[in-house]
Amino acid sequence: MHHNERQADAKPAAHSVDSPAAARHHQPSTPPGTGNRQRALTSVLRPVRQLAHRTDDATLRDQLELVRIPAPPFGEEERGASVLERLREAGYDDAACDEVGNVLATLPGAAGAEPVVVAAHLDTVFPAGTDVEPRHDGGRIYAPGITDNSRGLAGMLAVARLVRTAGIRTRRPILFVATVGEEGTGDLRGVKHLFREGSPLRTAAAFVALDGSGMRRIVHRAIGSRRLRVTVEGPGGHSWADRGAPNPIVALAAATAEVSTLALPHPERSSLTVARIGGGTSINAVPDAAWLELDMRSEAPGVLLELEASVRGIVKRVVREESTGRRPGTDALSCEVAVIGDRPSAETPARSELVRISTQVTSSLGAEPELVSSSTDANVPMALGIPSIAIGVGGDSGGIHTTDEWYANDHGALGIERALLIVLEAAGVVE
């Protein structure tokens, strides 16, 4: 998830439970809805909601143990194995890894019912070798990935354990998934595999991504992105003897200048960034190759393709123009544009059942719901029309995607309770 810097939620008002004693006496408020069914539901859910608070320390222990296991992009195996073991210990005998390394476990439901998918990503943005040892300072725990996404993983494990321990039965099966490849160059490869062509999950009833911290945010709009790597190659040569030869760097510099001033459709909901650039061999040589990487994002479906067409057109033209100046007999520049990232834009309507449940549960726990957009694992099922959201799992945090990342377990258990109630409402509790 591309988090806003600091995920500081307003303190939940009525239901602060920041002490085990308070947890024991935590009287869950009546969940959303009315009448007998809700009262029955309240009595079915009361014990598991209280258990969510009594197991707050165990949840934090998972979080601390998981953050110590590095999970760089394309390097999630070890952490995946640890999550698999924890799911099996929690009684999910069917827990297993799929072809790409996602870890899956199912709480059965009524036969034939479409599942609710609960996902948390395994990977972090931090390369192998990063020091991930947690450091405690005051009420904060500092460690790269402690919130994004060790908190989400610990939250998923907690919900999976709670429903099993409490013997909760649901109408719909609940599929718990620890996904690979959510961050950066991972390009959502884990969730894309889950919802690949022909996958039975394409008709899932709902998708809930647990990502990061907090109590208020409900991601129901997906910021899509399209990432391109443009490579320009030319004859190169000696900077004196071959002066005037077409220069890939000159072409890319011209392309950069033009694409950076492109008029963005829906500028408030779109962005274009020339993120990385490189090339050249030595100071006394005309470069024979140069490249740039470009990141385009938009909440509005359709905008990315439009932007990409403009970018490709500009690159093609400036490469041609740089080639026309060359001396007779020298080769022209060649250009290749590769897609290195593709995340769909989409939206789960705010009036949808899943978003309505999420806002009601959030309010019922004393936090003010905030409907937001972001790029998460939910992008993929959302773009397939499956009701999908992403939420944080309690606590407070900052420094996301930096080595100064921290987490504070402030009302952490309330975040677990929120995730639990949203998932159970979506799956339909059988009394």
Residues that bind Zn ion (CB under 5 A): 1, 148-149, 211
Smallest gap from Cβ 1 to Zn ion, in A, equals: 4
- Nearest Cα to Cα of residue 86 among 100, 99, 73, 69: 69
Q: Show Cβ contacts of residue 385 under 8 Å, excluding neighbours closer than 6 positions.
A: none
CA–CA separation, 194 and 211 (whole Å): 17
- Nearest Cα to Cα of residue 409 among 99, 66, 220, 155: 155
Smallest gap from Cβ 222 to Zn ion, in A, equals: 14
Smallest gap from Cβ 149 to Zn ion, in A, equals: 4
CA–CA separation, 78 and 93 (whole Å): 19
Specify the residue, 59 or 374, whose C-beta has the smaller distance to Zn ion. Answer: 374
Where are any strands of DSSP class E within 39-193?
A: 96-97, 103-107, 116-121, 135-137, 140-142, 169-170, 174-179
Question: In the structure encoding, which two tokens stand for residue 376, read together?
Answer: 């998460």
Smallest gap from Cβ 125 to Zn ion, in A, equals: 9
Specify the residue, 211 or 410, whose C-beta has the smaller distance to Zn ion. Answer: 211
Specify the residue, 125 or 355, whose C-beta has the smaller distance to Zn ion. Answer: 125
Specify the residue, 2 or 164, whose C-beta has the smaller distance to Zn ion. Answer: 2
3-state SS, residue 23: helix
Largest Cα separation within the chain, whole Å, is 89
Smallest gap from Cβ 194 to Zn ion, in A, equals: 16
Specify the residue, 155 or 173, whose C-beta has the smaller distance to Zn ion. Answer: 155
Under 8 Å between Cβ of 72 and 126? yes
3-state SS, residue 70: coil
In the complex, residue closest to Zn ion by CB: 1
Smallest gap from Cβ 153 to Zn ion, in A, equals: 10
3-state SS, residue 319: helix
3-state SS, residue 408: strand
Specify the residue, 126 or 195, whose C-beta has the smaller distance to Zn ion. Answer: 126
CA–CA separation, 31 and 65 (whole Å): 32
Specify the residue, 92 or 406, whose C-beta has the smaller distance to Zn ion. Answer: 406
In one-letter notation, the amino acid at residue 60 is: L
Specify the residue, 211 or 293, whose C-beta has the smaller distance to Zn ion. Answer: 211
Smallest gap from Cβ 206 to Zn ion, in A, equals: 19
- Nearest Cα to Cα of residue 195 among 105, 102, 78, 300: 102
Under 8 Å between Cβ of 341 and 261? no
Smallest gap from Cβ 152 to Zn ion, in A, equals: 7
